[in-house]
Structure 1
Amino acid sequence: MTAMLSVLEFHLVNYRRTWRSSALTTLVMPLLVMLGFGVGVGAYVEGGVGGVPYLDWIVPGLIASTALQAAVGEATWPVFSYFEWLKVYFAQAAAPLRVADILGGHLAFMLFRIVLSAAVFLAVAAAFGTLHSWWAPLTLVVALLVGLAVAAPTVAYAASVSSDSYLIILMRFAVLPMSLFSGVFFPIGSLPELLRWVAYVFPLWHGVELSRDAILGTSPGLLGLVHVACLLAWCAAGCLLAHVRFRRRLVI
């Protein structure tokens, strides 16, 4: 555990030097998305969705989607560069660090970035008066689950490819469809049945539903346990696969 915390400290020290480059984007993007989709598009959605104003309805999905975007951003090119360009992982493996320490420390940093981005979005949402329940802070826990469920398998993928062109393929054929068809902007009930089942499999939809229940103050019931179980399954499978890929690359 101490070794893993040392790896986390390494990433935090690096972030302390570069946080200004992402701070403005982290704050401005929620404002632009809220104004563009929530206020702009919402003006044309009469009656909202299920009696909930459109802006209020999409906010939970946007927070979960923010966790997705932050996870993908931290788990793609940074991981690939640490293997192929900067060789940071190999330098860490030469120190008295286990593969689990290297991977765990970096995943912990990713979770820090994910919850930070989600917290900023939640604060902006509160300023717009879109939070309907005192359970709304639980969306940060959901963001952590969504973030790890996305980041872990993405790390495994980034550790497996030989060119960053494959990362662009991931963005186009996995991340973009998941962002569009997971109930963030419209209920997935309006999708064809095949696409609905695709949404059920991907982790984002489960995070969107849990976030929406927390912010709107509705009870998820037993379905909430299914959502949590699916997210945990993605987390466990992703972490296991990432550890296997890291071990193959770092252990001689």
Structure 2
Amino acid sequence: MSFLTEVYAVAWSDIRFMRHNVRNILISSLMLPILYLLAFGYGLKAGDVEIEGQMIPYLDFVIPGIIALTSLSSSFSSTSTRMNVQRLYYRSFDEMMMCPLSNSAIIIGKTALGMCRSLLSCSLMFIIGYVLEPSYMNLTPLLVVSVLLACFTFSLLGETAALMVKSHQAMSTFSSLVITPMTFLCGTFFSVAALPEVLQGLLYALPLTEASVCIRAAALDVYAFPYWALGVLALFALAFYLIDLYLIKNRKI
């Protein structure tokens, strides 16, 4: 209970921030996924996509990919931007570090904003997908677990970026070098299995690929769920957590 109280104390201000800006957050979180849906889902007018021997209409294929992409963009941007402002401008993060709070509570608490925002955005995106393609989109327990883990992983990644960079310009560079390539290359808009094995290995080294694979398999529910990908995504979350813990413990912030 003491640990949960500390987590809540860290997350309280971010949750209040989201509560007072929920309309703007919803609009900004949904605009990009909807544009991707219109551009790739309807604009390309692609045919069926083969996954694990199953032929899937491209629109049904791309909607879970956009949900995975939403978990990345909403979690990362909200967590990294908020922490970056707190560290570099208000210096409130430094003040929080002087409070009698455990490092783990700080790390977990700072994921609250990213997780809440991305879960809300992913839920709305799933509802849109279900309205468009009710015969394919399924709300399953594995889908809930996959989305939760993806949101948590990318919130931790946002913390990692925010703790490492020294300026907003550096954060922009990080996004350009890491987030933008993941957006377009990690199986959100195409099947990674169609690429050469060397490229597949490179893309599976990025967490959004595993998130896309898990969310698509759970949402479509037409082929076996890749538990190995869920395990790899959990390892990414653990790795980001340990990096954050190292940065905070050694005050390299």
Q: Same fold (TM over 0.5)?
A: yes
The AA in structure 2 aligned to 1:203 is P
- Quick check: 1:108 aligned with 2:112? yes
- Distance in 2 (alpha carbons) for counterparts of 1:31 and 1:161: 30
The residue that corresponds to 1:191 in the other structure is: 195
Aligned to 1:235: 237
Measure, in 1, the Cα distance between the counterparts of 2:114 and 2:150. Answer: 12
Gaps of 5+ in 1: none
Task: Output the amino acid matched with 1:83.
Answer: R
Contact kept in structure 1, 2:129 and 2:137, CA below 8 Å: no
Q: Per-residue CA shift, 1:164-216, capped at 9, x if unaligned? A: 22212221121111111111111123334432111111111111111111122
Q: 1:164 to 1:31 in 2, by over 3 A?
A: closer
Identity of aligned residues (%): 23
1:117-138 per-residue CA deviation (whole Å, 9 max, x = no partner) reads: 1111111111212552544564
Q: TM-score, normalised by structure 1?
A: 0.88
Separation of aligned partners in 2, 1:82 and 1:56: 40
Contact 1:153/1:237 (CA < 8 Å) preserved in 2?
no
Give the corresponding residue for 1:36: 39
Paired residue for 1:49?
Answer: 49
Asked whether the 8 Å contact 1:114–1:143 carries over to 2, the reply is: no
Q: Deviations over 1:23-67 (max 9, x none)?
A: 2233444433322211111x2x23x21232211111111100110
Structure 1: 4+ residue segments shifted above 6 A = none
Amino acid across the alignment from 2:38: L
Using the TM superposition, name which of 232-241 and 131-140 deviates more.
131-140
User: Where does the alignment leave 5 or more consecutive residues of structure 2 unmatched?
Assistant: none
Q: TM-score, normalised by structure 2?
A: 0.88
Q: Residue 236 of structure 2 aligns to which amino acid in structure 1?
A: W
AA aligned opposite 1:141: V
Structure 2 CA distance for partners of 1:31 and 1:142, relative to 1, 3 Å: same
Alpha-carbon distance between aligned partners in 1 of 2:252 and 2:9, rounded to the nearest angstrom: 18
Secondary structure in 2 aligned to 1:52? strand
The equivalent residue for 1:5 is 8
Query: Which residue of 75, 80, 86 corresponds with 1:76?
Result: 80
Please tell me whether the aligned partners of residues 150 and 234 of structure 1 are also in contact (alpha carbons under 8 angstroms).
no
Say whether the 8 Å CA contact 2:69–2:188 is kept in structure 1: yes
Q: Trace 1:196-211 onto structure 2 (pairs within 5 A).
A: 196-211=200-215
- The root-mean-square deviation of aligned C-alpha atoms, in Å, is 2.2
Identify the match of residue 158 of structure 1 among 150, 156, 162. 162
